[in-house]
């Protein structure tokens, strides 16, 4: 049964906002997995129809219970399936027949259970498709729509208070997700939606988040990920969040490289899953939280409505040391802690006690206990400085002064339009609750407050930038070669394609004889490099297949013979096409530039600083194609050794714009070539005062259009 995209969207909407819910396999024991949804729906006041299905009962908790799906009086908007794995397929078939189009499957025993489980899961996919039923799960805790009191879940999180709030939280992990939801509750932030996606055989993370992010009551999207198949869907989600002005915050486990993959190019070897994920989500303005605590800290900063108009942080403390610690962390996190303007310094001097410090950080000392206006006027003055965009006030304990301090913070909040956070170490619980109730953001540790402020500033900066440049790199048409041979491409051919795409490539010609090589050298009129050319030799230097700076006939002739001999010795069966002749390029810096077709995110462009810096430091940066030159410049800004581009040890600076243009042009071309381009290395790209020029390239094609040549 075919479901159109519009129908599917409608079914998903009904799944999340059901007017009626059937609970298949409902238990009369409301403490069990198959009883808990009933308990929550009843206790928390779900307004729609609840329809338990179980032949063993005629009634559960006062509700009529139906003996089978077929006998349900209505085609419910949602079915909760809580039966053993072996019964799930029959269930789905029955749901389809009864006209029920959406199901959440709690049952485990599928893909997570080895080969037999995977086979059963595939059958479930097939059954759902045949029956036209859209699935969430299996092996999931279900979901909560707190606005409408929909508790299609057996998560422990539902046991406590689950008051609605501005955060939509979608999690791939049940256990970790429940923990995060409970932490959100501890902070009093409130989840509007809690959704556990389980094995994601049908509805996956991005589609479910996309369905709830439109809700005007949702202000922030939060996600916990363990893996991702559909990068394009995540990018669409990020773009939609950007358009709606709602931040997307993700925690994804699996930071470390899971071992090098087999790849012909450096780019392929370096473009490991997490590095690409991290780069791409940053490119589209997603904030990544490194763990659950940082997730909560960032959510709290983003749940308040004020935007940061820049990266200037103002810090007020009652401890000089805490100020230094926060200022240090601010610098590490890309915030500035600006000097204050003269008028603001003068204002501070009138309110500050003599032994406080009237700079930034401003140390108000413990004197504010005696004179509360001291704290208030200092912080307001600090926030009035035009270079300050976010404020943090640090204090500790003060159990005896909660009333006074809560009042002061409320007054500060009312006298500024800038976001300001309280960092209250070892705070009385009452103080935190009262501040949060007033919409004031509170942290328990200085560095955490700074990290959250940094996330807010980065989000706001991305939104400003996105508004200005529209994120719409215009994509040029690329004419794909009609028929290709899969595998490593001949250098002359590859160079020609890239030059046609606007990439500055060093001239290269193939000599099939010694005499041809000499002629090519004479034509070049300068020193040349000779390189062995063979479809079977990807890394020429490894077999000694490159000779540099040859500039007389004898050297050319000797070199030609030497390279042919070396290639035959190293790889007796290699097909030798001849020797490439290339005029020597100049440039004092080496870059590595490349493209990798990523199974999740598509065409990924990489730039790195060459030589040992790539090999040992792995100083490389990734972006998803296509992108514009502004994005190329941002890539260069992210290189750890990027200072080399500006000239060190007496070397001249290079033209960052020219490199950014190369990256953007390559990204445009690679995007168009996506169906056939598997990997590309431009290594090295020499960069000197005249701009970048690629002097070697390895291009691997693999046609995925279906009709291509699958040989080699």
Residues that bind a copy of itself (CB under 8 A): 108-109, 112-114, 117, 156-157, 159-160, 172-176, 178-179, 182-183, 186, 224, 226, 253-256, 290-293, 317-322, 324-325, 327-328, 331-332, 354-355, 366, 396-400, 425-426, 445-448, 611-612, 615-617, 640-641, 643-644, 648-649
Contacts of 5 (CB under 8 A, 6+ apart): none
Is the CB of 27 or the CB of 172 nearer to a copy of itself? 172
User: In the beta sheet, which residues pair with residue 608?
Assistant: 592, 620
Q: Which residues pair with 565 in a beta bridge?
A: none
Contact indicator for 92, 22 with CB cutoff of 8 Å: no
Name which of 31 and 470 has its Cβ closer to a copy of itself.
31
- Of residues 356 and 583, the one with the C-beta less far from a copy of itself: 356
C-beta of 617: minimal distance to a copy of itself in Å?
Answer: 6
Q: Report the nearest approach of a copy of itself to the CB of residue 395 (Å).
A: 8
Per-position DSSP letters for 596-644, written without gaps between them: EEETTTEEEEEEEE-THIIIII--EEEEESS--HHHHHHHHHH-TTGGG
Question: CB-side exposure of 570: number of CA atoms within 13 Å?
Answer: 20
Residue 217: closest CA among 16, 8, 6: 16
Strand ranges inside 89-209, DSSP E: 102-105, 134-136, 142-145, 150-153, 167-171, 191-196
Beta strand 134-136 with 142-145 is unpaired
Q: Which is nearer to a copy of itself, 100 or 589 (CB)?
A: 589
How far apart, in Å, do the first and last CA atoms of the chain sit?
A: 39
Minimum distance of a copy of itself from residue 142's CB (angstroms): 14
- Concatenated DSSP letters of 425-440: ET--HHHHHHHHHTT-
The least CB distance from residue 647 to a copy of itself, in Å, is 11
SS3 content of the chain, % helix, strand, coil (to 5): 40, 20, 35
Q: In the bound complex, what is the minimum distance in angstroms from residue 140's beta carbon to a copy of itself?
A: 13
Q: Side-chain half-sphere of 394: how many Cα atoms within 13 Å? A: 26
Partners of residue 594 on adjacent β-strands: 606, 681
For a copy of itself, the closer of residues 450 and 682 by Cβ is 450
Beta carbon nearer to a copy of itself, 536 or 615: 615
Convert 18-41 to b/e letters by CB count within 10 Å (16 or more is b): bebbbbbbbbbebeebbbbbbbbb
> Residue 669 Cβ, how far from a copy of itself at the closest point, in Å?
30
CA dist 380 and 388 (Å) reads 11
Opening angle at CA 291, ends 456 and 179, nearest 5 = 110
Q: Are residues 136 and 103 in contact, defined by beta-carbon separation less than 8 angstroms?
A: yes
Residues linked to residue 709 through DSSP beta bridges, in sequence order: 485
**Of 22 and 686, which has the nearer Cβ to a copy of itself?**
686
Spatial CA neighbour of 327 closest among 394, 411, 374, 264: 394
Buried b (16+ CB within 10 A) or exposed e, 393-430: bbbeebeebbeebbebbbbbbeebebbbbbbbeebbee
Smallest gap from Cβ 46 to a copy of itself, in A, equals 23
Compute the Cα dihedral for 699, 703, 709, 712 and give only its sign.
Answer: positive
Specify the residue, 180 or 670, whose C-beta has the smaller distance to a copy of itself: 180
Least spacing, CB of residue 224 vs a copy of itself, in Å: 7
174 or 578, CB closer to a copy of itself?
Answer: 174
Least distance in Å: CB of 349 to a copy of itself?
13
Structure tokens at 704: 């995925």
Closer by beta carbon to a copy of itself, 425 or else 555: 425
Find the shortest distance in angstroms from Cβ 132 to a copy of itself: 29
CB of 103 to a copy of itself, least distance (A): 21
State the nearest-atom distance from the C-beta of 354 to a copy of itself, in Å. Answer: 6
Helical H segments across 163-265, by residue range: 174-187, 205-213, 231-244
Of residues 358 and 484, the one with the C-beta less far from a copy of itself: 358
Question: Which residue's CB is nearer to a copy of itself, number 207 or number 447?
Answer: 447
Closest CA to 366 of 397, 392, 408, 344: 397
Secondary structure letter of residue 146 according to DSSP: T
8 A C-beta contact, residue 589 and residue 602? no
CA distance to 78, 90, 91, per residue, from 95 (Å): 10, 9, 6
Nearer CB in complex with a copy of itself: 353/481: 353
Q: How far is the CB of 645 from a copy of itself (least distance, A)?
A: 10
Choice between 76 and 374, CB closer to a copy of itself: 374
Contact residues for 65 (Cβ-Cβ < 8 A; gap 6+) = 26, 52, 53, 54, 57, 58, 59
- Cβ at position 585, least distance to a copy of itself in Å: 20
Angle at the Cα of 615 from the Cα atoms of 613 and 620, rounded to 5 degrees? 65
| CB nearer a copy of itself, residue 79 or residue 375 | 375
Min CB(107)–a copy of itself separation in Å: 12
Closest alpha carbon to 508 in 537, 532, 478: 532
CB of 641 to a copy of itself, least distance (A): 5
CB of 541 to a copy of itself, least distance (A): 9
323 vs 559 by CB, closer to a copy of itself:
323
Closer CB to a copy of itself, 365 or 495, in the complex: 365
């Amino acid at each position: 049964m075919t479901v159109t995209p519009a129908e599917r969207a409608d079914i998903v909407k009904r799944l999340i906002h059901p007017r009626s819910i059937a609970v298949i396999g409902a238990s009369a024991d409301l403490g069990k997995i198959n009883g808990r949804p009933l308990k929550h729906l009843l206790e928390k006041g779900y307004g729609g129809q609840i329809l338990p299905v179980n032949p063993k009962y005629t009634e559960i908790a006062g509700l009529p219970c139906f003996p089978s799906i077929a006998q349900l009086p209505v085609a419910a908007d949602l079915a909760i399936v809580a039966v053993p794995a072996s019964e799930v397929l029959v269930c789905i078939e029955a749901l389809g027949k009864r006209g029920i189009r959406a199901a959440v499957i709690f049952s485990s025993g599928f893909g997570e259970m080895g080969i037999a489980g995977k086979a059963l899961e595939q059958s479930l996919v097939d059954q759902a498709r045949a029956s036209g039923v859209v699935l969430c799960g299996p092996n999931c805790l279900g979901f909560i729509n707190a606005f409408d009191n929909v508790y299609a879940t057996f998560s422990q999180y539902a046991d406590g208070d689950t008051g609605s709030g501005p955060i939509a939280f979608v999690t791939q992990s049940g256990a970790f997700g429940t923990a995060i939801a409970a932490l959100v509750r501890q902070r009093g932030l409130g989840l509007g939606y809690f959704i556990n996606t389980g094995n994601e055989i049908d509805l996956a993370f991005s589609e479910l988040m996309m369905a709830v992010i439109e809700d005007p009551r949702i202000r922030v999207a939060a996600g916990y990920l363990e893996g991702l198949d559909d990068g394009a869907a995540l990018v669409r989600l990020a773009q939609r969040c950007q358009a709606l002005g709602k931040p997307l915050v993700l925690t994804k486990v699996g930071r470390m490289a899971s071992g090098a993959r087999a790849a012909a190019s450096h780019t392929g070897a370096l473009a490991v899953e997490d590095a690409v994920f991290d780069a791409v989500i940053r490119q589209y303005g997603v904030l990544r939280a490194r763990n659950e605590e940082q997730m909560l800290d960032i959510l709290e900063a983003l749940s308040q409505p004020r935007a940061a108009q820049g990266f200037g942080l103002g810090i007020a403390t009652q401890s000089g040391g805490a100020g230094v610690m926060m200022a240090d962390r601010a610098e590490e996190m890309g915030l500035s802690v600006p000097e204050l303007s003269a008028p603001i310094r003068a204002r501070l001097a009138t309110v500050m006690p003599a032994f406080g410090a009237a700079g930034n950080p401003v140390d108000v000392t413990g004197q504010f206990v005696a004179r509360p206006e001291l704290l208030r006027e200092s912080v307001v003055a600090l926030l009035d400085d035009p270079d300050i965009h976010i404020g943090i006030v640090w204090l500790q304990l003060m159990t005896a002064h909660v009333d006074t301090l809560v009042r002061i913070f409320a007054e500060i909040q009312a006298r500024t339009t800038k976001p300001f956070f309280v960092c209250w170490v070892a705070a009385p619980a009452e103080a935190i609750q009262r501040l949060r109730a007033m919409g004031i953001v509170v942290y328990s540790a200085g560095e955490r407050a700074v990290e959250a402020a940094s996330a807010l500033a980065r989000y706001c900066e991305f939104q400003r930038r996105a508004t200005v440049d529209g994120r719409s790199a215009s994509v040029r048409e690329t004419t794909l070669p009609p028929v290709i041979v899969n595998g490593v491409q001949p250098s002359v051919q590859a160079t020609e394609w890239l030059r046609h795409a606007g990439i500055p490539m060093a001239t290269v010609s193939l000599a099939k004889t010694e005499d041809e090589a000499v002629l090519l050298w004479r034509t070049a009129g300068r020193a040349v490099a000779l390189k062995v050319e063979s479809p079977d030799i990807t890394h020429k230097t490894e077999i000694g297949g490159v000779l540099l700076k040859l500039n007389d006939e004898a050297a050319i002739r000797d070199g030609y013979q030497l390279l042919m001999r070396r290639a035959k010795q190293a790889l007796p069966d290699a097909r030798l096409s001849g020797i490439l002749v290339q005029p020597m390029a100049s440039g004092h810096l080496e870059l590595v530039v490349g493209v990798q077709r990523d199974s999740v995110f598509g065409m990924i462009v990489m730039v790195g600083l060459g030589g040992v810096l790539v090999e040992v430091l792995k100083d490389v940066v990734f972006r998803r194609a296509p992108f514009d030159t502004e994005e190329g410049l941002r890539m260069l800004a992210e290189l750890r050794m990027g200072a080399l581009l500006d000239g060190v040890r007496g070397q001249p600076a290079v033209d960052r714009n020219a490199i950014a243009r190369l990256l953007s042009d390559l990204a445009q071309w690679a995007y168009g070539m996506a169906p056939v381009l598997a990997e590309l290395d431009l290594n090295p790209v020499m960069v000197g005062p005249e701009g970048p020029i690629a002097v070697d390239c390895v291009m691997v094609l693999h046609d995925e259009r279906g009709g291509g040549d699958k040989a080699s």
